[in-house]
Amino acid sequence: MNRTELQLALRPLRFLDAHADLPEGLLEVRPGRLMVWNHEAIEEIFRADQRLRHPGSRSFKPLLGSRSLLWQDGPRHAAYRRVLGPPLRGRRLAESREVIAEATDAAIIGLTPGCEFAIADWTRALTLRIMSRILFGGAGDDLVTPFAEWMDRALGSRRRMLVYRYLRGGLPRPDRGLEELLVARARESARENGTTLAGRLLATDSPIADLDDGELRDQLVSLLFAGHETTASTAAWAVFWIDRHAAVRDAVLAELAATADDGFSADNLPILQAVVSETLRLTPPVPAAGNRVLVEPWVFRERRFDPGTVLMPSIYLAHRRADHFPDPTRFDPHRFLVRRMTSQRYFPFGGGTRHCLGSQLGQLEVRMIVAALLRRRELRSMNPRAGEPQLRGHAMAPSAKLAMKVLSCRD
């Protein structure tokens, strides 16, 4: 490992901030490994995505499994997207609305006046329950609790994560008992309720119905992981940013007071949606999209990159370019009300053939959680300095120390 890689591993955000102004938007971390945030290069990479390889990160492969759809390529990957994509977008999202509303309702009841709670833990527990119900049809404490404990063991401490990554060959797998429980729950759900995500994965007419237990396990873990950590961080950051900006809070509250919409329609709640978009810009839960590996030579601005070069699209750096986002470190949802962002400059959900399958579901959850919280509780941050951007695993998540206090109930 060279000096640059060491700095990136030990102090990733400080390292990224120090390079944000590099005009070319490219940085060779070591020979054959390129961080990319130049918008023209990003456009080329996402356009060529089908011809690139997506091998996944060394540390996450043991966690999610070597056959996770996150690093499959070719027809098998396309089949996964055909099966999982439709229920997670468009009108079919209405099927998840009740699940999100019920789970959020139950979580808010526990927030009584005077209580202080860690916002990131609270949103994480909630979004894991939601994802578990969408996947299996039931939240199941026997499954959700050990899953959350395992995630915390793997990602809860940056120091521990570095030890796993560099000394133990990757993040830890869950206990065998939990893996077996996940698989059994999925097969049971598919027998009883074909409309769950597990039911769709295992439907007899699905192009991937031949899944063996090992490959099924990898997809269940991947969906639970990708579907809750990211959404939880976004919701927690959104609550934090709203708390820090009184004018934004007032504007969102006024918008909510003028409609009965629970957050389902972004069109009815443009200011709340702008808050979600700006949260995803300034504190993107996934700071770098998945690694891409060149299969053919690539020439960009007269520089030639050989096959085998690993490209790392940096969402964090692209979102902090001052020429694209004036005063980039300022939280300003207004930018999303006056301008349409292009997908090479703003890509919190990645792009190309790997564009996040849950982008619409994730934003829906965040809107509904934030809308319900603001409507029903008056909150204040107890220690805003703990809201300093930081990483949990590879993801950006507020510190477990960031606490909110319930000042009063509004319902």
Binding site for ligand HEM (CB under 6 A): 69-70, 81, 88, 223, 226-227, 230-231, 234, 280, 285-286, 289-290, 348-352, 354-358, 361-362
Q: At residue 108, what are phi and psi to the nearest 5 degrees?
A: -70, -30
- Closer residue to ligand HEM (CB): 197 or 251: 197
Could you give the CA distance from residue 217 to residue 182 in angstroms, rounded to a whole number?
A: 7
- Closer residue to ligand HEM (CB): 42 or 374: 42
Terminal Cα-to-Cα distance of the chain (whole angstroms): 55
Q: Quick one: which of 132, 102, 119, 332 has its CA closest to 232?
A: 119
- The distance of closest approach from Cβ of residue 233 to ligand HEM in the complex, given in angstroms and rounded to an integer, is 8
Could you give the CA distance from residue 162 to residue 8 in angstroms, rounded to a whole number?
A: 12
- The distance of closest approach from Cβ of residue 405 to ligand HEM in the complex, given in angstroms and rounded to an integer, is 25
Could you give the CA distance from residue 350 to residue 285 in angstroms, rounded to a whole number?
A: 11
- The distance of closest approach from Cβ of residue 368 to ligand HEM in the complex, given in angstroms and rounded to an integer, is 12
- The distance of closest approach from Cβ of residue 37 to ligand HEM in the complex, given in angstroms and rounded to an integer, is 13
- Closer residue to ligand HEM (CB): 275 or 406: 275
- Closer residue to ligand HEM (CB): 163 or 295: 295
- Closer residue to ligand HEM (CB): 65 or 348: 348
CB 74 within 8 A of CB 366: no
Residues with Cβ < 8 Å from 352, sequence gap 6 or more? 45, 46, 47, 48, 49, 50, 52
CB 347 within 8 A of CB 289: yes
CA atoms within 13 A on the CB side of 201: 27
CB 290 within 8 A of CB 352: no
- Closer residue to ligand HEM (CB): 274 or 406: 274
356 annotated to bind ligand: yes
In DSSP notation, 235-253 reads HHHHHHHHHH-HHHHHHHH
- Closer residue to ligand HEM (CB): 78 or 203: 78
- Closer residue to ligand HEM (CB): 26 or 356: 356
- The distance of closest approach from Cβ of residue 365 to ligand HEM in the complex, given in angstroms and rounded to an integer, is 7
In DSSP notation, 139-204 reads --HHHHHHHHHHHHHHHS-HHHHHHHHHHSSSSPPPPHHHHHHHHHHHHHHHHH-TTSHHHHHH-T
- The distance of closest approach from Cβ of residue 411 to ligand HEM in the complex, given in angstroms and rounded to an integer, is 26
- The distance of closest approach from Cβ of residue 121 to ligand HEM in the complex, given in angstroms and rounded to an integer, is 17
Q: Quick one: which of 350, 280, 277, 282 has its CA closest to 314?
A: 350
The three state secondary structure string of 354-382 is HCCCCHHHHHHHHHHHHHHHHHHEEEEEC
- The distance of closest approach from Cβ of residue 329 to ligand HEM in the complex, given in angstroms and rounded to an integer, is 19
| Strand order across the beta sheet in which 403-409 lies | 116-118, 403-409, 377-381
Annotated binding site for heme: 356
Residues annotated within a binding site? 356
